[in-house]
Amino acid sequence: MRVVVPFDPTEPNTRLSSVLSPDERREFADAMLDDVLDAVRAAGGSPEVLASAPVDADAPVTVDARPLSAAVNDALAEVPVSDTSKGSSDERSESDGGLPAAVVMADLALATPDALTRLFDAAGDVVVAPGRGGGTNALVVRDPAFRVDYHGVSYRDHVAAAEAVEASVGTVDSFRLAVDVDERADLVDVLVHGDGAAAAWLRDAGFRVAVQGGRPVAVREPND
């Protein structure tokens, strides 16, 4: 499965500004991206980073500074560079495209190969893995008429967009794909459930889980 991984290296994780400096937010975002790329490969996927600015990554990178939805829709329609040697015509129709393909967000620090395998294997012309708060954290697209739109209540919108082009819709019920890490509260989930570069980065930075008022919270202690 071809897997597009959108990544914004310019100002990542702004809502973590209260606990991480700009440089740290960038490092943490890089660590989460590494974890996602590793999990995608372990699930048999071929990741491609779709970045909003030039970035070093352990996968092929396409830079597209346009808004997320436009960049992703064009990426899904493109024949991947690695496939052009396989005899694709220069005059391919739009429906050739690079499908099937998945779109997996770069801040899914809890994504596991098992969870991604369930995503890739799920039946449906369009498969949606919901994120918390009405979002879409991962998709599989098999119908070239489908277009993504990440603005707003994107889970609901993606289901409606699929139905509008008469594409069948599947869903994947996964906690690990539902957690996109962009708030301080999410760091607890990374520290408790993560076992990759992002969790290691947080621990190295002095984060640990403490219980305050009976509830787990992520706290930061000075490193020596």
Residue in 185, 204, 206, 221 binding a copy of itself, rule: CB under 8 A: 185
**Least CB distance from residue 162 to a copy of itself, whole Å?**
15
Residue in 22, 44, 60, 152 binding a copy of itself, rule: CB under 8 A: 152
Residues pairing with 169 in the sheet: 126
Residue in 22, 44, 134, 206 binding a copy of itself, rule: CB under 8 A: 134
216 binds a copy of itself (CB under 8 A): yes
Token pair belonging to 217 = 């919270």
Nearest to 119 by CA among 99, 134, 101, 106: 101
Contacts of 205 (CB under 8 A, 6+ apart): 20, 24, 28, 220, 223
By CB under 8 A, the residues from 153 to 182 that bind a copy of itself are 153, 155-156, 173-179
What is the Cα–Cα distance from 185 to 187, expressed in whole angstroms? 5
Pick 100 or 113: Cβ nearer a copy of itself: 113
Determine contact, residues 79/85, Cβ cutoff 8 Å: no
Residue in 193, 205, 219, 220 binding a copy of itself, rule: CB under 8 A: 193
**Least CB distance from residue 200 to a copy of itself, whole Å?**
17
In sequence order, which ranges of 44-171 are alpha helices (DSSP H)?
68-77, 113-121, 154-164
**Least CB distance from residue 132 to a copy of itself, whole Å?**
6
- Count the helices and strands in the chain (H runs, E runs): 7, 9
Contact residues for a copy of itself, defined by CB under 8 A: 112, 114-115, 129-130, 132-135, 151-153, 155-156, 173-179, 185, 188-189, 192-193, 209, 211, 214-216
